Chains A and B, each alone.
Chain A
Amino acid sequence: MTETARMSGPAGTSGSGRLGALLRRPEAGALLGTVGMLVFFTIFGGLGFLTVASTASWMNVAAGLGIIAIPIGLLMIAGELDISVGSMVPAGSMTVAIISGHYGLPIWLGIPAALLLGVVVGLVNGILVVRTAVPSFIVTLGTLFSVAGLVLGFSVLITGTTSVAITAPDLAKAIFGSFYIQGQFQVLILWWLLATCAYIYFLHYSRYGNWVFAMGGDKVSARNAGIPTERLTIVLFVLSATSAAFVGMCQAILFNSAQVSGGQSYIFNSIIAVVVGGVLLTGGFGSVIGIFLGTVTFAVVNQGIYYTSFDRNWSSLIIGVMLLLAVLMNNTFRKMALNYTPRKGNR
């Protein structure tokens, strides 16, 4: 009797404790947002929203966005920003399309070239941010336009058009750009899930994740504690630019063509996904699973609207309101986390 009483006591209290602990986590707001949006569109979209086609449509949107949003989120946690991804997506597409489509060279040359371009632009971003005192918003605004100009200039110079066709061999298509499961789900979804797992390990379980948080909390103290802040900043910029180039490259292979424009929406969409996901814009707070849920929430709103009777034009309104709500909610949850004190006599 006493044994069961003793057992059930702490278990009973830890039930509410677990809810409290969940609300204090960075992803609390994003989780509520995701669930809320799924319920909202199930109610207003009816059964149409729960079909395979609908699930595939928002997951396809989420995959491309998520692969870019997580490294953007890491940069934001570290106190930086990268908006150059907006032109890195078309840059990745065009690079692989010009090399392997226009010139007809092997795809296994075009793919590394596209990724290498991401590495180079990331290095430029990172080194400029570290070496100059210019805020990363301005630096990456500069590279956003520079890369967009380079891509447009070279495309017209080399191919004479702004759209290049590419036919990738079967193996490359199977790995980077094809549909699976009733021909609806892009293979990019798998890349997104794998990347999410890798980033969860990196940010929350490896020691380097601690460095990212420390950098966002206070860069000078982090450096004094022996963290190679400059190298880590450069690595994060390389990660985000390369991820964007990767998504662009996959899209070119999937759709058999590449265009010089069309990546700009990734700038704001990734920031929305990250902020809805509970990352603090000024750095030092956030989680990968939060960004993941923020991405899902964004994609559900973005695609779910098609399954409702609402006009498509309202989706931006929903996203805007959702962003504001998410930020307010995240502020509240963060305050809860800060003020949390375990009750006296708990142990």
Chain B
Amino acid sequence: MSAPILALRGVSKSFGPIDVLHDITLEVRAGEVLCLLGDNGAGKSTLIKILSGVHQPTSGTIEMDGRTVTFDTPRAAADRGIATVHQFGGTFPLMSIGRSFFVGAEPTKRWGPLRIYDRRTANEIAVKAVRDFGITRIDDGDRLVGGLSGGERQALAIARALHFGARVLILDEPTAALGVKQATHVLRIVNEAKRRGLAVIFITHQVMHAMSVGDHFTVLIRGAVAADFRKGEKTREEITDLMAGGASMASLEAEIEGYMASHEGHPPPPHA
């Protein structure tokens, strides 16, 4: 087994008197998807912020390629190849695909005595990068990001991270706001990123989505690692139980999803 690219060793985080994370240890390897599961308030967001340099751990260490590192700023984490993609992907809805792709790293060309933004190059590279992820509907780099679907925006953000040399991709609930079809799109992109040798940390509370791409699973409950297992070691029901902390939850969810699957996505009518 290859050495982990990124690892947390006994990381805790407190905000004043409130302990948010307790003694978290996890690692992620190249070409592997680590699914971080947890209900709302389990500490997933804080963990992402530590991984991406927004917060610093109160105790414990972060290791990259076996060496201890500190991320003082999000920029420091980004420079080491850690890219975070948030729920809504493209965050500049009124910018063109090409322009938003290259924010902060715009290609320029000479124009007389001046240096000007090279729109054509930017658009070409951005469109090609997204199309390489199988999003063939995008062929015009002048389109505004806000006009793309949720899945396309995720693809754009992931393609951008890859283009700028990301080694670790942190996906923060990428499927939460998406419909079934769009979510499938994103999951396919996650698989493609994995195939290209990225280490992916996939944060979600949708067990189905996690199971379809994950190699390794970590369940967080109230800021602590409640379970840590590899693909195939636990069933969907067991994972849901772990997350929700009760068997009734899993059976209810299974019942509803079973109904939806057999009724073209419609939820069951409320009981009279």
A interface list, Cβ under 8 A from B: 201, 204-207, 209-211, 213-214, 217-218, 221-227, 280, 284-285, 334, 337-342, 347
Please state if A340 and B144 are interface contacts (CB–CB under 8 Å): yes
Given A226-B75, A347-B139: A284 and B95 within 8 A (CB)?
Answer: yes
How distant is A70 from chain B, measured CB to nearest CB, in Å?
A: 18
How distant is A254 from chain B, measured CB to nearest CB, in Å?
A: 32
How distant is A283 from chain B, measured CB to nearest CB, in Å?
A: 9
How distant is B139 from chain A, measured CB to nearest CB, in Å?
A: 7
Please state if A222 and B116 are interface contacts (CB–CB under 8 Å): no
Chain A contact surface mostly: helix
CB pairs A–B below 8 angstroms (16 shown): A207-B108, A207-B117, A210-B117, A217-B91, A217-B93, A218-B92, A223-B74, A225-B103, A225-B104, A285-B94, A337-B144, A338-B146, A341-B143, A341-B147, A342-B140, A342-B143
Please state if A338 and B144 are interface contacts (CB–CB under 8 Å): yes
* B147 and chain A: residue at smallest CB distance: A338
Number of A-B contacts (CB under 8 A): 86
Please state if B114 and A226 are interface contacts (CB–CB under 8 Å): no
Please state if A210 and B102 are interface contacts (CB–CB under 8 Å): yes
Please state if B117 and A205 are interface contacts (CB–CB under 8 Å): yes
Of listed B78, B91, B94, B139, residue having the most chain A CB within 10 A: B94
Q: How far is the CA of A206 from the CA of B119 in the complex (A)?
A: 11
Residue B111 is within 8 A (CB to CB) of chain A in the complex: yes
Q: How far is the CA of A143 from the CA of B84 in the complex (A)?
A: 39
How distant is B123 from chain A, measured CB to nearest CB, in Å?
A: 13
Q: How far is the CA of A222 from the CA of B104 in the complex (A)?
A: 8
Q: Across the interface, which residues of A come within 8 angstroms of B139, CB to CB?
A: 342, 347
How distant is A194 from chain B, measured CB to nearest CB, in Å?
A: 15
* B146 and chain A: residue at smallest CB distance: A338
Q: How far is the CA of A218 from the CA of B102 in the complex (A)?
A: 15
How distant is A202 from chain B, measured CB to nearest CB, in Å?
A: 10
Please state if A205 and B92 are interface contacts (CB–CB under 8 Å): no
Q: How far is the CA of A99 from the CA of B218 in the complex (A)?
A: 71
Q: Across the interface, which residues of A come within 8 angstroms of B140, CB to CB?
A: 342
Q: How far is the CA of A338 from the CA of B97 in the complex (A)?
A: 11
Size category of the binding interface on chain B = 20 to 34
Given A221-B92, A340-B144, A340-B147: A227 and B103 within 8 A (CB)?
Answer: yes
Given A341-B143, A341-B147, A342-B140: A224 and B75 within 8 A (CB)?
Answer: yes
Q: Across the interface, which residues of A come within 8 angstroms of B18, CB to CB?
A: none
Please state if B103 and A210 are interface contacts (CB–CB under 8 Å): yes
Q: How far is the CA of A210 from the CA of B78 in the complex (A)?
A: 20
* A21 and chain B: residue at smallest CB distance: B142
How distant is B140 from chain A, measured CB to nearest CB, in Å?
A: 5
Q: Across the interface, which residues of B come within 8 angstroms of A211, CB to CB?
A: 103-104
Given A224-B75, A340-B144: A214 and B94 within 8 A (CB)?
Answer: no
Q: How far is the CA of A347 from the CA of B136 in the complex (A)?
A: 13
Q: Across the interface, which residues of B come within 8 angstroms of A221, CB to CB?
A: 91-92, 103
Q: How far is the CA of A218 from the CA of B106 in the complex (A)?
A: 17
Please state if B95 and A227 are interface contacts (CB–CB under 8 Å): no
How distant is B253 from chain A, measured CB to nearest CB, in Å?
A: 34
Q: Across the interface, which residues of B come within 8 angstroms of A201, CB to CB?
A: 114, 116
Please state if A206 and B116 are interface contacts (CB–CB under 8 Å): yes
Please state if A280 and B106 are interface contacts (CB–CB under 8 Å): no
Given A338-B146, A342-B140: A217 and B92 within 8 A (CB)?
Answer: yes
Of listed B75, B91, B93, residue having the most chain A CB within 10 A: B91
Residue B263 is within 8 A (CB to CB) of chain A in the complex: no
Q: Across the interface, which residues of B come within 8 angstroms of A218, CB to CB?
A: 91-92
Q: How far is the CA of A204 from the CA of B95 in the complex (A)?
A: 12
Q: How far is the CA of A347 from the CA of B138 in the complex (A)?
A: 12
Q: How far is the CA of A201 from the CA of B147 in the complex (A)?
A: 26
